[in-house]
Structure 1
Amino acid sequence: MFELERITAGYDRRHPVVRDVSLSLAPGESVGLLGPSGCGKSTLARVAALLHRPDAGLVRIDGRPAGGWRHRAPREQRTAIGVVFQQPRLAADPRLTLHDLIAEPLRATGRRDEVPGRVARLAAEVGLGGELLARRPHAVSDGQLQRACLARALVLRPRWLVCDEMTAMLDASTTAALVAVVEAYRGEEGAGLLAVGHDRVLLERWCDRTADWDEIAGAPAPTETAAPGA
């Protein structure tokens, strides 16, 4: 299971943007988190991806509490989660080619021998030809860059995926293609998915169930549960 228990989080402890939110998903399950822009769902997604430490609450991954946040998270937990953000240009190092962008997690975890085969396979699956792989982010479209970012998120074969408004900046055909890639991966690996967005039609078609932000958020912030140390 992947569990978010009574999460309170934000960027100023006096004014949290997420208050007392709980959400869980089972292995292989896809859950859509539906809410308007600015409600706090992207902050919750960052907490789920171990990229933002909550002020209170608990994250459990495969039954174990999160052991830290960002680079302090244990590698086993950090690599169990693949994440795709809304804005690929903010999530991609502009100095890297698309090939190196996809390969980066493998190199960072000492799995360089897997780079040629894994990158080639994923590039083909997300629809990136060899010529595009040699380009840097400034030389490709948003849709092409998001394809590379999705491939990067999948390259370590994560058990859990967090897609935060992954398709918000994409046209309908690219959206359909990337959703199909995610679903093929989930079918192959049995991964769970948290898909965050504001498009109810898309999330209800894509996911096994949807959670409405208004129904899971808004209770008074808890005081008795401390977040794990960074």
Structure 2
Amino acid sequence: MLELTGITAGYDRRDPVVRDVSLSVGHGEAVGLLGPSGCGKSTLARVAALLHRPDAGTMTLDGTVVRGWRHRAPQEQRTTVGVVFQQPRLSADPRLSLRELIAQPLRATGRRREVPGRVAELSSLVGLSAELLERRPHAVSDGQLQRACLARALVLRPKLLICDEMTAMLDASTTAALVAVVEAYRTESGAALLAVGHDRVLLERWCDRTVRWGERSVERVPVG
């Protein structure tokens, strides 16, 4: 499903954050990427989500080599991946209601007719009431906003979901609820998952396998 090979990436070519890293996620597989804050996990996740072009290395997504990132990526590849970030307030347009936030990818891809049914379905799945859907980000909690961001990530039915520290700012009950939503979606769709975090217990319970951040590559963590 996802194959990252020899990825080097960062924001200054003279001092990359990620150096020669390789990682794979199979079809329908849930992989946890474990590492401390600041090690480069989120940069690698942004590469995998087609949001950051690497300086070197190759990426294959659903059998096709990726040759463009961000707006240069074909729509078919962009819609293959859904992503949820750690800080929902940095990834949500403060001008939009939660309803509009969830619907945003559908409108952007010319699928406006699907908006009412899909938003109703996903808001129910993530636990957002009709009243909350009309609020803007400043008028809801971090947990409620993250529920909307997860619904937005699922609205185009991605084949790969990337959760980059999705639960780091949430309490235990909201964490459990959102993990359950992800697993319900994966059971129904067969989607793959890349879950990035520093909570080894959560990742090992959630994922089929967990890998840890190495000095030059991502290595498997022994389990058991």
**TM-score normalised over the length of structure 2:** 0.96
Shift in Å, 1:62 = 1.0
Shift in Å, 1:47 = 0.2
Once residues 87 and 66 of structure 1 are traced to their aligned partners in structure 2, the CA distance between those partners, rounded to angstroms, is: 27
User: Aligned letter for 2:217?
Assistant: A
User: Aligned letter for 2:81?
Assistant: I
Which residue does the alignment assign to 2:14?
A: 14
Which residue does the alignment assign to 2:148?
A: 148
Question: In the comparison of the two structures, how many residue pairs are matched?
Answer: 218
Shift in Å, 1:125 = 0.3
Once residues 171 and 215 of structure 2 are traced to their aligned partners in structure 1, the CA distance between those partners, rounded to angstroms, is: 30
Shift in Å, 1:107 = 0.5
Which residue does the alignment assign to 1:200?
A: 200
Backbone CA RMSD of aligned residues: 1.0
Once residues 211 and 149 of structure 1 are traced to their aligned partners in structure 2, the CA distance between those partners, rounded to angstroms, is: 25
* Aligned positions of 1:109-128 closer than 5 A: 109-128=109-128
Q: Which has the higher contact order (CA 8 A, sep 6+)?
A: 1
Shift in Å, 1:208 = 0.2
- Correspondence 1:131 to 2:131: yes
- Unaligned runs of 5+ residues in structure 2 are 219-224
Once residues 214 and 88 of structure 1 are traced to their aligned partners in structure 2, the CA distance between those partners, rounded to angstroms, is: 28
CA contact (8 A) 2:19 2:216 kept: no
CA contact (8 A) 2:185 2:191 kept: yes
4+ aligned runs moved over 6 Å, structure 1: none
CA-to-aligned-CA distance 1:4-26 (integer Å, 9 cap, x gap) = 11100000011111011100011
Once residues 65 and 50 of structure 1 are traced to their aligned partners in structure 2, the CA distance between those partners, rounded to angstroms, is: 12
Once residues 33 and 57 of structure 1 are traced to their aligned partners in structure 2, the CA distance between those partners, rounded to angstroms, is: 19
User: Aligned letter for 2:108?
Assistant: A
User: Aligned letter for 1:125?
Assistant: L
Once residues 215 and 114 of structure 1 are traced to their aligned partners in structure 2, the CA distance between those partners, rounded to angstroms, is: 45
Which residue does the alignment assign to 2:3?
A: 3
| 3-state DSSP of counterpart to 2:202 | helix
User: Aligned letter for 1:160?
Assistant: L
Which residue does the alignment assign to 1:91?
A: 91
Once residues 91 and 107 of structure 1 are traced to their aligned partners in structure 2, the CA distance between those partners, rounded to angstroms, is: 17
CA contact (8 A) 1:67 1:74 kept: no
Once residues 176 and 93 of structure 2 are traced to their aligned partners in structure 1, the CA distance between those partners, rounded to angstroms, is: 26
Identity %: 80
Shift in Å, 1:63 = 1.2
CA contact (8 A) 1:18 1:217 kept: no
User: Aligned letter for 1:205?
Assistant: R
- Correspondence 1:182 to 2:199: no
Which residue does the alignment assign to 1:160?
A: 160
Shift in Å, 1:72 = 1.1
Shift in Å, 1:214 = 2.1
CA-to-aligned-CA distance 1:90-144 (integer Å, 9 cap, x gap) = 0000000000000000000010000000000000000000000000000000000
